[in-house]
């Protein structure tokens, strides 16, 4: 179809600009493009709304009319081994081989980063033995409501919906459950929550490779997983086991997040590699995975988590927030373009009754 707004050379300029800014190949950029007589429309299969103003400014700097370029994102549901749930396109597990690596903090910040980039997002706190998401969302004493005494309405925090065993039972009760009971409780929370339309449901997994992890991998429609580690050898060894578990149950791993990569002095700017350096990068390379982020050890991350004020909401322009925003976009891109994940156009949806 001919285009009266831009000629082919100008369209190529715009495509090259977008490809460079979003790290897309020529083919990937072209696949997002629809031409009409009135405008150019780019619909991206991953989250990137915060890049839109920069892209449009770049088009203006080319001397072209950016008002005739329409940018949007549309997230597709990917295939899963288990029939996916109604209204939830993709369920992504945030996992770690061991505790203490900042998995829950990473899960919450990635959820808000995805939302800030234009996605509809929910959080499921699957850490049955140590649910911390309610604290990080600032509503530890809240209780989900029910209109039929069978299904729960998830709680909302700054537009991200969530449910957790921490909302339902006292912490001391959750800590003593046996494996089968904990696994059943997790499935109930997932299936009996009235989730709204979601592009992503982020699942904060418990550490390790036990009953809960296997239940999630085998009985829940997981789309993919992300593994969180620190650079030290002991964490990397356990993270490797976590990756191996997902590989064995055929759940694609989108990448590795290296947490607590370094501590940077606020006064002099010197970086201290408290837990060694480069471990996450080495792990990602060995496993042929994407290194999604190398996030610092910073007191502000801990403060926002303890205070229940999401970092992405409280300090959206900070360097820390930008790290999570970049990681969320890379994760979303990996999901969109993974060769092992096809668009879900055949698997039926399980309705809740």
Q: 149-192: per-residue pLDDT in tens? A: 889 999 999 999 999 988 987 666 655 666 667 777 788 889 89
Structure tokens at 238: 């356990």
User: 3-class DSSP state for residue 228?
Assistant: strand
More confident residue, 28 or 205: 28
d(CA 110, CA 102): 12
In this structure, the dihedral spanned by the alpha carbons of residues 268, 271, 274 and 279, taken in order and rounded to 10 degrees, is 170
pLDDT in tens, 103-140: 899 999 999 999 999 999 999 998 877 788 999 999 98
Q: How far apart are the first and last CA of the chain?
A: 47
Instruction: Give pLDDT, residue 344.
Output: 55
Instruction: Give pLDDT, residue 348.
Output: 45
For residue 24, pLDDT over 70 is answered with yes
Instruction: Give pLDDT, residue 173.
Output: 62
Dihedral pair phi/psi, residue 39, rounded to 5°: -165, 175
Q: What DSSP string describes 7-75?
A: -HHHHHHHHHHHHHHHT--HHHHHHTEEE-SS-EEEEESS--GGGHHHHHHHHHHTTS-GGGEEEEE-P
Whole-number Cα distances in Å, 185 to 71, 85, 122: 42, 17, 18
Pairing of the two strands 121-125 and 69-73 = unpaired
d(CA 191, CA 133): 19
Instruction: Give pLDDT, residue 341.
Output: 63
pLDDT in tens, 287-341: 889 999 988 888 888 888 888 898 999 999 998 999 999 999 999 999 999 876 6
Q: Where are the alpha helices (DSSP H) in 81-205?
A: 103-116, 133-136, 171-174, 179-191
Instruction: Give pLDDT, residue 296.
Output: 86
Lowest mean pLDDT among 35-39, 86-90, 96-100, 320-324: 96-100
Is residue 85 within 8 A of residue 191, CB to CB? The reply is yes
pLDDT in tens, 222-264: 999 999 988 877 788 888 888 988 888 889 999 999 988 777 7
pLDDT in tens, 208-220: 767 777 777 778 8
Is residue 227 within 8 A of residue 256, CB to CB? The reply is yes
């Amino acid at each position: 179809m001919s285009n009266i707004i831009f000629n082919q050379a100008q369209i190529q300029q715009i495509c090259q600009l977008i490809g460079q800014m979003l790290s897309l190949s020529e083919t990937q950029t072209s696949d997002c493009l629809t031409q009409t007589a009135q405008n150019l429309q780019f619909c991206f299969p991953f989250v990137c709304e915060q890049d839109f103003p920069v892209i449009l400014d770049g088009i203006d700097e080319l001397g072209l009319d950016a008002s005739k370029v329409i940018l949007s994102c549309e997230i597709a549901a990917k295939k899963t081994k288990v029939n996916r749930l109604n209204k939830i396109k993709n369920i992504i597990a945030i996992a770690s081989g061991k505790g203490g690596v900042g998995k829950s903090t990473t899960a919450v910040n990635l959820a808000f980063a995805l939302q800030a980039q234009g996605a509809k997002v929910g959080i499921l706190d699957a850490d049955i033995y140590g649910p911390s998401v309610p604290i990080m969302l600032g509503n530890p004493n809240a209780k989900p409501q029910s209109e039929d005494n069978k299904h729960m309405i998830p709680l909302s925090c700054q537009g991200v919906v969530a449910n957790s065993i921490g909302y339902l039972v006292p912490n001391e009760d959750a800590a003593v459950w046996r494996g089968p009971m904990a696994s059943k409780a997790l499935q109930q929370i997932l299936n009996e929550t009235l989730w709204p339309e979601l592009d992503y449901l982020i699942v904060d997994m418990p550490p390790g490779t036990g009953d809960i992890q296997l239940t999630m991998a085998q009985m829940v429609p997981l789309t993919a997983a992300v593994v969180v580690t620190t650079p030290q050898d002991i964490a990397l060894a356990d993270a490797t086991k976590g990756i191996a578990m997902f590989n064995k149950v055929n759940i694609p791993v989108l990448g590795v997040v290296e947490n607590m990569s370094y501590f940077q002095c606020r006064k002099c700017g010197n970086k201290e590699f408290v837990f060694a350096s480069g471990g996450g990068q080495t792990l990602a390379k060995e496993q042929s995975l994407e290194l999604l982020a190398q996030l610092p050890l910073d007191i502000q991350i801990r403060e926002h988590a303890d205070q229940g004020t999401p970092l992405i909401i409280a300090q959206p322009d900070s360097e820390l927030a930008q790290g999570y925003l970049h990681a969320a976009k890379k994760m979303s891109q990996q999901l969109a373009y993974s060769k092992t994940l096809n668009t879900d156009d055949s698997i039926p949806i399980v309705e809740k009754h």
